[in-house]
Amino acid sequence: MSKRDVIKKAYELAKESHKGQKSIDGKPYFEHPKRVYLKLKKVNQDSVLLASALLHDIIEDTKYSLKDIKKEFGEEISFIVDSLTKIPGYSKNFNKTLNKVKKGIKKDRRVLLIKLMDMHENIRVLKFVKKEERDKVTAKTFRMLDVLQPFCKTKLEKRLLEDKRKAIHKYLYGYNLEK
């Protein structure tokens, strides 16, 4: 299968599997992985990265399993998707999820780029979340950013991380951070 075909197959599977699901902002859920994909496509044309971006929520939110992803897309993509999949009982298992993400990044740096773009999109919809829940989400996001920071080596990764930190700061404290 060509690189373009892999991306197209991931796009179609994500679109179909998220059909009928709504995001917290009321839009079709597929728009979330699609936006992550489109943002990454601007900075990196790697087909495994882009296909994984489209599929990053598929195990958590659909009937598809890791085994299905591995069968359809292979070891590399399934590893990245699995690294980005929250452990069930996310609130109670947040630290385990953090460790899973770190382990994934150590093996494949594309996990980091997808996670940063995913967080960007999640921050974008925080305004639709009730304040109490938003406070919990932003605190966890700050914690995730702290964990991701040592892995950010390139200018792009550092800039993406800092952009997320500033956006979360605005939600927590109501004002932008100055440089």
pLDDT band at 94 (very low <50, low <70, confident <90, very high): confident
Catalytic residue among 25, 31, 46, 61: 61
Is 16 an active-site residue?
no
Task: Report which residue type is found at 27.
Answer: K
Catalytic residue, candidates 25, 31, 46, 60: 60
Instruction: Tell me: pLDDT of 42 over 90.
Output: yes
Question: What domains, with CATH codes, occur in the chain?
Answer: 3-173 (1.10.3210.10)
Q: What is the pLDDT of residue 34?
A: 97
Confidence of residue 177 (pLDDT cuts 50, 70, 90): low
Q: What pLDDT score was predicted for residue 139?
A: 84
Active site residue 60: yes
Instruction: Print the SS3 string covering 38-95.
Output: HHHHHHCCCHHHHHHHHHCCHHHHCCCCHHHHHHHHCHHHHHHHHHHCCCCCCCCCHH
